[in-house]
Amino acid sequence: MTAHLHLAPSLTETDPNPSVPSPVRVVLADDHALMRRSLRLLLDGEEGVQVIAEAEDMAAAVRHVHDHKPQVLVLDLRMPGGSSIETIRKLRERAPDTQVVVMTMEGNPVFAQHALATGALGFVLKDHADSELREAVLAAARGEEYISPSIAARLGALRRSVTDDELTSREVEVLRLIALGYTSVEIAGKLHISPRTVESHRARIHSKLGLATRAELVSYALGRSLLSA
């Protein structure tokens, strides 16, 4: 199914696709009980959405998807019991009728790129859940991609760089952080990788782009709008 970018319309707009069954049945997965409670109250209070089960870890999320067959799984990016990215990949194979909306505090566009490339249809920042989560759920139920507007521009720049210059999404983010002045050790801490891995990414970036100095990398990053937001 072809995904279409869908940014947040007004909450007063009617659903443009009446063919989507109502209410949209949702499994909500987050390891923090207070967060689950808040999100459930938010979603159940909205017309056209119903939370049918909650999961506190990855195993429970997978089990509820298989047992309840929801139209949408709202999945915290960082959950105990396994990798969210790997879980999305497996669910797209084993439960193709359930769409995934990732919810996170992580505003790094690399994480959005990985989640969407793996098969998620939504990426919502928790800070904006009150205004965006319902729209992301409804968009996913229609087979449309929804990205928090605050991260969409940076993700667009990331996707263009990956496509045009054959950099991986991780290399683009390393490049961005180098251009912002971070050291290899600081980049390693931000991306949860080792300094040696950062240096390997740095060498491949220089090789792929044919750029020798940090000043050239900064110029390239500015030209691709990688330093914005």
Q: What kind of fold does domain 5-10+17-151 have according to CATH?
A: Rossmann fold (3.40.50)
Return d(Cα 63, Cα 68) in angstroms, integer.
8
Taking alpha carbons only, the member of 113, 75, 111 closest to residue 91 is 75
Burial of 51 (0-12, 13-18, 19+ CB in 10 A): buried
153 pLDDT exceeds 90?
no
Q: Which CATH class is domain 166-223?
A: mainly alpha
What would the pLDDT profile of 89-110 be if each residue is shown by its tens digit? Answer: 899 889 999 999 999 988 777 7
Q: Which residue has the higher pLDDT, 211 or 201?
A: 201
| pTM for this model (two decimals) | 0.65
Average pLDDT, the chain: 84
Lay out the sheet containing 145-147: strands in order across.
Answer: 5-6, 145-147, 122-125, 99-104, 72-76, 24-29, 49-55
Per-domain boundaries in the chain: 5-10+17-151, 166-223
C-beta separation of 52 from 25 below 8 A: yes
pLDDT per residue as tens digits for the range 13-34 = 444 454 566 799 999 999 999 9
How large is the average pLDDT for residues 121-130? 92
Question: What integer is the mean pLDDT of 71-75?
Answer: 97
Residue 107 CB neighbours (<10 A): 15
